[in-house]
Chains A and B, each alone.
Chain A
Amino acid sequence: MPRSTRAVVRSTRAVAAPVPGLVPADADAEARIAVRKTYKIYIGGAFPRSESGRSYLVRGADGTPIANAVRGSRKDVRDAVRAARGAFPGWEARTAMNRGQVLYRVAELLEGRRDQFVAEVAAAEGLSAGEARAQVDRAVDRWVWYAGWADKISQLLGTVNPVAASYFDFTFPEATGVVGVVAPESSSLLGLVSRLAPVLVGGNVAVVLASEGRPLPAVTLSEVLATSDVPGGVVNLITGLRKELVPPLAAHMDVNAMDAWGVPAEMAVAVEAAAIENVKRVARAPRGGGDRIDWLDDRTAQRPEWIAAFLEMKTVWHPIGV
């Protein structure tokens, strides 16, 4: 079993760095009043609050209140899809090498903020500092792994087809478009990165619904994305309640595909039924649920098939002649 789902609830005091939230950093409390962070959503390269003006209280794994997160709305989902659609042509048109470099840059910036993520992941998931560090380190490495696929996946999936007539015939992959990513619920950072990176590397843009119970590391990741070279709108991230956000995303007619990995089992039928209305491609978690995967295991948690799941194969014919 992955550690993330069976984690023992520990005190946030065990973490390496103070959590910039509601929890008082008791040792330093008298010396300095901490500047708390407002956790916002990320749409079109900007950090708005929800148009609905709502928030919900996020608690750490031990039940301690950590912060108020944005309780996004159906309208936020629509705004995010619009931003994503606008960003798609530019991102898809990047050269494969350039996309690879941009995603590698995410790893670079994440590396520089490891301590912050270790603290947040530990608080969110109730992990020890060491366990949280393993999650964060693997998340950094996963960006590197996927970044390298950008200029290789076409050669893995593309073919030249030996047709029985005088034509040159070839097939190559292209991005499917706007992908709705319902992030894994329990693995707040590594699970999200493991599902988001394969979507982006192929040239897709994403509307991400962060983990409902553990959304804060995802929000901080969006701050990393905003300051890396990922163009605004390529990733849009909304926090809030699954039951409010998943249905409008699954039903949105300008979303081409859904990564349903984090869709709760009781919503799976409704999500797939809504998704078929514009023939969305749906990537489902394996039987037993997406939370059962060991995100730390490179052999199971990073795969070229996960890139391929959000690619279209295009076949081209041309006559051969003089």
Chain B
Amino acid sequence: MATSSDRKVTTRTNSAAVGRGTARPSTWGFGDGQAIPWEYAPAPESREIVQLQSRYGLFVGGKEIAPRTGQWFTTIDPATEEPLAEVARAGVEDVENAVAVARRAFRRSWGQLPGRERAKYLFRIARILQERSREFAVLETLDTGKPIKESRDVDIPLVAAHFWYYAGWADKLDYAFPGRRALPLGVAAQIIPWNFPLLMLAWKIAPALAAGNTVVLKPASSTPLSALLFADVCRQADLPPGVVNIVTGPGEIGLALVKHPDVDKVAFTGSTAVGKQIGRAIAGSGKALTLELGGKAANIDFDDAPLDQAIEGIVNGIFFNQGEVCCAGSRLLVQESIAEPLIEKLKDRLATLRVGDPLDKNTDVGAINNAAQLAKIEELIEAGVAEGAELYQPACELPSRGYFVRPTLFTNVAQSHRIAQEEIFGPVLSVLTFRTPDEAIEKANNTPYGLSAGVWTEKGSRILHMVKQLRAGVVWANTFNRFDPTSPFGGYKESGFGREGGLHGLLAYVRLEDR
């Protein structure tokens, strides 16, 4: 693995030579890529609240069971590379057992339960998640490397809110789709990624259960722990056994799960490549499918944008969760007339980002989730340099252990560069410029993806014009990376199909019959 120190760090001296009217306030003193001049005292969140088991079995039929393979794998803390726990490595037999258990629960308990009773279970789950929110936040940070302030303030509250929202639909399905009766599909196979493990679990399980389905969920192999702790929430809520089943293991187990003939519905969040693989695997099977795949969002800044807000939005857009976000604003399109001051300001802001211990409450950018992902980010950063883009990284100190990468900014990026085309899934921002709104639209849409986009301008009519023209499922105007259980989320084009959240998210888990 390449270390970041052997890369050329471009300082701002070059661009400083381009004459600008006003001198920069020297008291801030963090020009030229220097680290910020003040230190924050460490403010670590205690990990005491999390009682890790040394081993986690599969959660099937309401019980923790050992895998029939007899094999286990280790999940680690990406910030320290220390092992956290051993987790069951499911085999095909385990998958078959889990699907059979889910089917039985669908037939005998959950599928027969009136919506009002399902609702109460889901409300219970939402409440327990709120009660145990700190425990989940710490565990999520340990297993993913994301900053505690994000898991605490974003992930876990959204998880509880998601169960809360869909709980209320369970007994109102008759009103959801005019003229149609909404019936459950049956057994849902759900595969989720490692960037928002518990939040993706909630996006998958809450609407599925509300509609009366039972589920077999496979978390990502590098982040299984919050899902396994969620199993405990199911037990505390007295959820009937077999309604929620969790199998852990490598990707091929996920493939075996979606291919299982007794699965009625497949839902996947992850990379476009794996999404296509799943699509091929179940082609012609008649299974319902929703896919939430990759993205390469354009964050478009017009010359009349509120600059300070825009800077915060850009930073949030690409450095939230280390940029490991499918809807990350990884391409910044700046109107040419403001490109220079905006990039200057952005570099200053990057220098204030605190990179390091995810459990520290002051940390802005935590650890990259896994070694493979770090290698991929490093590779794409090197490709950016090799292809001629200009690299900037603030001179922050990275921890000596763990998977860390500096917040990275590329200027002079061409549309053909890999860093402008490929989903990096890391804290790497590519800056491109445009002159006219039409050019911005052309560049923003010049990607096979279509998940999200951002628009920054004070002009309302321009926002609405851009909203119409951008081929993306979510458009954030004068904001970025906002999520809510009531708000449908999902992609155009190769970013997938189907929506999660809101009434449209419910539709993905029902079949409609004539009344």
Contact = CB atoms under 8 A, between A and B. Distances in A.
B494 interface: yes
Interface string B465-478: 00100001111111
A279 B474 contact: no
Interface string A281-322: 100100100000000000110000100000011111111000
Nearest to A164: B484
Interface in B405-447: none
B496 interface: yes
Given A315-B475, A317-B475, A318-B463, A161 B488 contact: yes
**Most chain A CB neighbours (cut-off 10 Å) among B476, B479, B487:** B487
B272 interface: yes
B109 to A, nearest CB: 26
Contacts of B276: 276-277, 279
Contacts of B488: 159, 161, 171, 313, 315
B156 interface: no
Contacts of A164: 161, 484, 486
Contact of B291 (A162, A279, A312): A279
Nearest to B481: A317
B473 A313 contact: yes
B279 A165 contact: no
Contacts of B486: 161-164, 169
Contacts of B512: 305
B39 interface: no
Q: Is the interface of B mostly helix, strand, loop or mixed?
A: mixed
B242 to A, nearest CB: 26
Contacts of A167: 479, 482
B6 to A, nearest CB: 38
Contacts, number: 113
A272 B489 CA distance: 24
B37 interface: no
B283 A319 contact: no
A162 B164 CA distance: 14
A258 to B, nearest CB: 12
Given A278-B494, A279-B496, A317 B482 contact: yes
A313 B506 CA distance: 14
Nearest to A272: B283
B48 interface: no
Nearest to B286: A287
Nearest to B496: A279
Contacts of B487: 161, 163, 169, 171, 315, 317
Contact of A159 (B284, B467, B503): B503
Interface string A124-157: 0000000000000000000000000000000010
Q: How big is the B interface, by class?
A: 35 or more
A269 interface: yes
B286 A278 contact: no
A270 B283 CA distance: 7
A276 B484 contact: no
A277 B279 CA distance: 9
A239 interface: no
A305 B507 CA distance: 11
A164 B160 CA distance: 13
B477 A318 contact: yes
Nearest to B277: A276
A269 B492 contact: no
B475 A279 contact: no
Nearest to A287: B286
Given A164-B161, A279-B493, A272 B279 contact: yes
Contacts of B467: 314, 316
B21 interface: no
Nearest to A170: B487
Contact of B484 (A169, A256, A270): A169
Which are the 6 A-B pairs with shortest beta-carbon distances? A276-B279, A269-B284, A272-B283, A163-B484, A273-B283, A268-B284
Given A278-B494, A279-B291, A305-B180, 18 more contacts: A159-B504, A167-B482, A269-B283, A269-B284, A270-B284, A273-B279, A273-B280, A275-B279, A276-B275, A277-B276, A279-B275, A284-B286, A305-B512, A314-B492, A315-B474, A315-B488, A317-B487, A318-B479
10 contacts: A159-B503, A167-B482, A273-B283, A275-B283, A277-B276, A279-B276, A279-B291, A312-B473, A316-B474, A319-B479
